Amino acid sequence: MNKFLLLGFLLLAPVSLASADLKIAVVDLSKAFDGYYKTKDAQARIKEKEDGFQKDVQDMKVDYDHMVEEATKLKDAVNDPTLSAEARADKKKALDAKVQDLQNMERKLQETSNERNRELQEEIVRRHKEIVDEISKIVTDYSGPQGFDLVIDKSSSSSTGVPIVLYNSNKLIDITNDILTKLNATAPPASATTPAPSGAAPATH
């Protein structure tokens, strides 16, 4: 019996020793993503594009409202008993044409809104992937020379919303700040990307 116990220990020992030799680190990719200067730049550009899209749609809505006012006036004229039958008939033709224009404008508004939203979502997904790929490369390039066998994202969650890393010891090395330092090493000066406060005097050289 003791021989079987000894054999079992010898079989398990290599696995335990190998696990003990693993060098594991953790990284908060959510923090790295939010703190990366390219993320903030992308968010600013997307916001600028979104504002431009909203202005385009709003301008179209203003034109639509004007057309509604014109259609309302034409409808009133069609029902105006002081006008001749011929004049009311002309107004009726103009009203029918205006109603058709309104229907076309409604369709154009809906199509434009859908197209702009689709473009915006595609831009968000594309830029998100680009940034995640860059961060992943930095983590990989950093971790290899540091001798890490495994790097775990402690901010990740499963499809059910449960955190993938439920617990990690303080003994594990957290490389988040090192990754952020490398990510932002090429960041432009703050004045080049951050607008000056309203009323602030321009910088002098």
pLDDT tens digits, 67-92: 999 999 999 999 999 989 899 899 99
CATH number at residue 116: 3.30.910.20
Question: What's the burial of 140, exposed, middle or buried (CB within 10 Å: 0-12/13-18/19+)?
Answer: exposed
Tally of domains in the chain: 1
Does residue 204 belong to any structural domain of this protein?
Answer: no
Does residue 1 belong to any structural domain of this protein?
Answer: no
What is the dihedral sign for C-alpha 151, 160, 43, 113? positive
pLDDT digits (tens, 9 = 90+) for 133-159: 999 999 999 999 999 999 999 998 877
Does residue 175 belong to any structural domain of this protein?
Answer: yes
Could you give the angle at which helices 176-183 and 85-146 cross, rounded to 10 degrees?
Answer: 120
Structural contact between residues 31 and 174, judged by C-beta atoms closer than 8 angstroms: no
Confidence tier at 115 by pLDDT (50, 70, 90) = very high
Is the entire prediction scored with pTM above 0.75?
no
Beta strands in the chain (DSSP E): 24-27, 150-153, 173-174
> Is the pLDDT score of 182 beyond 50?
yes
Summarize the confidence of residues 36-63 as an average pLDDT: 93
Structural contact between residues 28 and 153, judged by C-beta atoms closer than 8 angstroms: yes
Distances (CA, A) of 121 to 49, 51, 125, 137, 184: 11, 14, 6, 24, 26
Confidence tier at 20 by pLDDT (50, 70, 90) = low
Question: What's the burial of 64, exposed, middle or buried (CB within 10 Å: 0-12/13-18/19+)?
Answer: middle
Structural contact between residues 108 and 67, judged by C-beta atoms closer than 8 angstroms: no
Does residue 6 belong to any structural domain of this protein?
Answer: no
Strand partners, 25: 151, 173
Residue type, 169: S
Tell me the residue range of the domain where 73 lies. 22-186
**What is the rounded CA–CA span in Å between residue 34 and residue 202?**
29
